[in-house]
């Protein structure tokens, strides 16, 4: 029999780390908490593990942290630990390389571990499967070990992007074809004078372009997506006075869109930034999302999500201006298009694509292709991967919109077990916008308080 824990958190990126931090501060003395994470560090994950200095946070430092306490705010930590990173001294305009936020999270977690009366363990392995067992669950690990936990929190991401239509699976691993856009070292496989195709025009695309340009890339870069829209430029985004979206009554998604546009027009007319409306929307989107019908949620995802995303998930100003300059000199172009097919050639790849609304295909010859389409969305019963295995075992269910796992209002996973929870992006169908660190921070505090109370009750009952 392997080790036993009161709570096992599967996934040690930002989501799992901030939950562990809150649990360490709330749980009873002697409570055993494990984070199962194959990386050497807990707290960075994909987003904040990047070593590339060009990959910046897209939210100002003064809006990031691990709790509301001053010592847990990223901007205050920067002021005291690394003031040289703040630039002109204004945290509201500070967009540091993302790796620094990962360092900050690890620092705060380490302090929580040192001062907690609970016991913390980092299990450096991957969770491959879980089954219900007497008194909780049994978790199988990639190194052959098994451990037990009374409660399990799933805090993993969807994983690597799915291959877009038109791209054969045989290209995976081919030099110059980057199926994993976060492996920035592989950009070296693309000649500096070679043409590059990036599939996807979101924030990951922005990271890739910034990395290429920093490495001295001189060749043309084409980025395509269905709508060809770029994330907007980030900037000061204080919530306009008196704007409380939680007070809005239930309505259709069309009504909410009309009302949000009216608010954006109003604040712009008052000399404020439209970004403030999206700050309010980010913080309070759960209220509006919970009031939509299933049909309206589906309409949003099908017709409006792309437009929401480019306003909500904005680029750091430095990155935006870098890409804007590259567009102006003709090195970067953004197209509304989709891939029809790809063929490997001696020089790279021939890509057949079709622009939005066009009747004929075009061909683009490139030396490299980078897949930035975003994480896989649809989950299903599939024992070959961890999340699919949960669904196949009946422990969890995919949510009705296919965004992640079905959970109740207390983060409890819907399925045949009562001691499984999910946190972060996997809970979007229930809670709405749960991608950003500020939103996950709030979620983690709520769930930690809830689980700490459960552990206290269980201990009293023994």
- Tell me the backbone φ, ψ of residue 126, rounded to 5 degrees: -105, 135
Residue 283: the pLDDT is 83
Whether residue 42 contacts residue 113, with contact meaning beta carbons closer than 8 Å, is answered with: no
Report in angstroms the alpha-carbon separations of 359 from 69, 147, 194, 353: 57, 57, 28, 11
d(CA 390, CA 381): 8
d(CA 353, CA 406): 36
- Tell me the backbone φ, ψ of residue 121, rounded to 5 degrees: -135, 135
In the numeric block, the tokens 């392995």 are attached to 125
Q: Which pair of structure tokens corresponds to residue 256?
A: 């909410």
Over the stretch 180-190, which tens digit does the pLDDT of each residue have? 999 999 999 99
Question: Would you list the domain boundaries of the chain?
Answer: 4-159+376-461, 169-232+314-371, 245-312
Q: Which of 434, 379, 435, 440 is nearest to 405 (CA)?
A: 379
- CA 270 to chain CA centroid, Å, is 33
The average confidence (pLDDT) of the chain is: 93
- Tell me the backbone φ, ψ of residue 277, rounded to 5 degrees: -65, -40
Whether residue 32 contacts residue 5, with contact meaning beta carbons closer than 8 Å, is answered with: yes
Contact partners, residue 386, CB within 8 Å, separation at least 6: 10, 126, 127, 128, 129, 130, 156
Q: Which of 317, 369, 357 is nearest to 61 (CA)?
A: 317
Residue 162: the pLDDT is 83
Q: Which of 89, 332, 53, 126 is nearest to 219 (CA)?
A: 332
Over the stretch 378-434, which tens digit does the pLDDT of each residue have? 788 888 889 999 999 999 999 999 889 999 999 999 999 999 999 999 999 999 988
Whether residue 204 contacts residue 181, with contact meaning beta carbons closer than 8 Å, is answered with: yes
| Burial bucket for residue 251 (CB in 10 Å: 0-12, 13-18, 19+) | middle
Q: Which of 253, 25, 30, 22 is nearest to 155 (CA)?
A: 22
Domains 4-159+376-461 and 169-232+314-371 agree in fold: yes
- Tell me the backbone φ, ψ of residue 403, rounded to 5 degrees: -90, -25
**What CATH number is given for 4-159+376-461 in this structure?**
3.50.50.60
Residue 89: the pLDDT is 66
Report in angstroms the alpha-carbon separations of 117 from 28, 108, 113, 114: 7, 16, 8, 9
Query: Which residues of the chain have a pLDDT value below 50?
Result: none
d(CA 131, CA 264): 49
Contact partners, residue 269, CB within 8 Å, separation at least 6: none
Say what the pTM is.
0.94
Angle between helices 317-328 and 203-214 (to 10 degrees): 70
Q: Which fold has domain 169-232+314-371?
A: FAD/NAD(P)-binding domain (3.50.50)
d(CA 69, CA 329): 45
- Count the Cβ atoms, other than its own, within 10 Å of residue 240: 18
Residue 25: the pLDDT is 97
């Amino acid at each position: 029999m392997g080790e036993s824990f009161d709570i096992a958190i599967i996934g040690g990126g930002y989501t799992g780390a901030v939950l562990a931090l809150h649990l360490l501060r709330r749980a009873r003395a002697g409570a055993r908490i494990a984070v199962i994470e194959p990386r050497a560090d807990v707290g960075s994950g994909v987003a904040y593990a990047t070593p590339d200095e060009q990959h910046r946070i897209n939210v100002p430092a003064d809006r990031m942290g691990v709790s509301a306490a001053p010592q847990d705010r990223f901007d205050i930590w920067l002021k005291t630990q690394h003031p040289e990173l703040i630039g002109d001294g204004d945290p509201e305009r500070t967009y540091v390389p993302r790796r620094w936020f990962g360092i900050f999270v690890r620092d705060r977690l380490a302090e929580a571990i040192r001062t907690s009366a609970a016991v913390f363990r980092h299990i450096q392995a991957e969770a491959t499967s879980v089954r219900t067992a007497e008194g909780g669950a049994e978790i199988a690990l990639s190194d052959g070990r098994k451990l037990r936990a009374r409660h399990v929190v799933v805090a993993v991401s969807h994983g690597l992007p799915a291959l877009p239509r038109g791209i054969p699976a045989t290209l995976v691993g081919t030099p110059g074809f980057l199926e994993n856009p976060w492996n920035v070292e592989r950009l070296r496989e693309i000649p500096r004078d070679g043409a590059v195709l990036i599939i996807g025009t979101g924030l990951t695309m922005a990271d890739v372009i910034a990395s290429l340009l920093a490495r001295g890339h001189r060749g043309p870069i084409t980025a395509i997506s269905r709508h060809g829209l770029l994330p907007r430029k980030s900037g000061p985004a204080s919530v306009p006075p008196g704007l409380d979206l939680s007070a809005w009554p239930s309505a259709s998604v069309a009504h909410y869109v009309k009302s949000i546009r009216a608010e954006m027009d109003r604040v712009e007319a008052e000399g404020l930034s439209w970004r403030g409306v999206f700050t309010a929307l980010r913080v309070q989107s759960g209220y509006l999302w919970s009031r939509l019908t299933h049909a309206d949620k589906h309409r949003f995802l099908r017709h409006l999500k792309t437009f929401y995303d480019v306003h909500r998930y904005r680029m750091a100003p430095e990155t935006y201006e870098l890409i804007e300059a590259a567009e102006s000199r003709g090195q970067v172009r953004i197209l509304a298009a989709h891939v029809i097919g790809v063929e490997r050639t001696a020089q790279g790849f021939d890509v057949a694509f079709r622009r939005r609304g066009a009747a004929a295909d075009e061909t683009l010859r490139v030396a490299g292709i980078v897949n930035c389409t975003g994480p896989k969305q649809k989950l299903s019963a599939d024992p070959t991967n961890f999340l699919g295995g949960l669904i196949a075992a009946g422990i969890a269910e995919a949510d009705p919109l296919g965004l992640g796992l079905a959970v109740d209002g207390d983060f409890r996973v819907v399925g045949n077990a009562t001691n499984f929870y999910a946190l972060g992006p996997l809970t979007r169908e229930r809670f709405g916008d749960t991608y950003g660190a500020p939103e996950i921070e709030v979620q983690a505090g709520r769930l930690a308080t809830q689980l700490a109370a459960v552990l206290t009750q269980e201990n009293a009952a023994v």
